[in-house]
Amino acid sequence: MIEVIYDGLQMRLIIGFGGNLGDPATAFAGALDALADEGWVLSTSQLWQTRAVGPAQPDFLNAAAVFHWPGDLSALLARCRELEFAAGRDRTTEERWGPRVLDLDLLLADGVVCRGPELEIPHPRFHKRRFALEPAAEVAPEWVHPLLGRSVSELADAARPAVDDGAVRVLEPEES
């Protein structure tokens, strides 16, 4: 059973994009285009390069986009999984936190709390992951995490190390 608390069927939400195999920037663009056919892209972040979490693997590219979605969250999650699979991701065979061509995460929806076996919004680890927070803070800094009562920008500030460790950085245009 999915518990969803929100008013109405249309909402704004932040989707996180990640990938470290093949050409993630192209995979991101394809997913954005496909999602834009079904909703509205309101803003997108720059590309961020981040050190991988988990097994040894190449650095990731990450980004975030704010969408206006006109339908059901379960349908959006299913669509994101379809796009991941079309880009070459097979969740049934991959290593947890391992390399992937495309990862689409529903990070935060404006004023929505959803807890279910397949979908949790806000994403349960969003507030702890700089690779998700930094791009999200770029596109929706004032959004408030409904369970923590802190803005995305405050959460990103809190997640930054006292000394820049270079683990998360904006990818310069000539590098992408």
105 catalytic per annotation: yes
At residue 29, the 3 state secondary structure works out as: helix
Query: DSSP secondary-structure letter at 94?
Result: S
Q: For helices 130-139 and 152-159, give the axis angle rounded to 10 degrees.
A: 140
Location of structure tokens 């079309």? 86
Q: Which of 105, 130, 157, 160 is catalytic?
A: 105
89 catalytic per annotation: yes
Q: Which of 79, 103, 129, 130 is catalytic?
A: 103
Location of structure tokens 């969003």? 126
90 catalytic per annotation: no
Location of structure tokens 């408030």? 144
Q: Which of 89, 115, 130, 160 is catalytic?
A: 89
Q: Which of 7, 23, 72, 100 is catalytic?
A: 100
- Residues with a catalytic annotation lie at 89, 100, 103, 105
